[in-house]
Amino acid sequence: MSCPRTLTVAAMVAIALTSCNTRRPARFLIPQGFKGWVKINFQATNARPLPVEDNHWLFNLNKDGRLWTSNRLEGGFAADDFFYLSDGRRTPLRKTESCQGGSIWGVAIGSDLGPNHAYMEWFFVGSEAEYRQQVDPGGRIYIPCLSN
């Protein structure tokens, strides 16, 4: 097999694999100043479908960081956006790795064990120190960030 042909086949396989695991990205609008756990319930009875903005699902959270939607929970990868919202103005929030100054932590999806098997997504909004206090109050799991 020649080199250009091998590269073409490898590129086609890479494109096929990455396109299979993508989803429509989400845009989360979080009330200005909210700190704590966001929780979104999917396939909720009597809930409205999510609107779409610039090809992103638009999650407009209530003051308690909650949202119920009739949409199904989508799996796969996407570049989601997170914003604080106040009087129509959006302030971007960063989702980063540890020790990089982000505000979005612990993004997870799953279902409850109850009879309805509700599908949910949740994440924490706040500083890394606040997140660590929530998930590791004794300070036994996370290594402290080093100052430069």
Give 76-111 pLDDT, tens digit per residue: 899 999 999 999 999 999 998 888 889 999 998 888
- pLDDT of 11 above 70: no
Cβ atoms of 59 and 50 closer than 8 Å: yes
Which of residues 69 and 4 earns the better pLDDT score?
A: 69
- In this prediction, residues 119-146 reach a mean pLDDT of 88
Share above pLDDT 70 across residues of the chain, in percent, rounded to a whole number = 84
Checking if the pLDDT of 146 tops 80, the result is no
Q: What pTM was estimated for this model as a whole?
A: 0.81
How much of the chain, in percent, has pLDDT values that exceed 90?
A: 61
* CA-based nearest residue to 67, from 90, 86, 44, 40: 40
CB-based contacts of 59, cutoff 8 Å, min separation 6: 26, 27, 28, 29, 40, 50, 67, 69
φ, ψ of residue 6 in degrees (nearest 5)? -60, -45
Which amino acid, one-letter code, is at 148?
A: N
**pLDDT band for position 121 (50/70/90)?**
very high
CB 34 within 8 A of CB 65: yes
Please report the pLDDT score of residue 147 as a whole number.
66
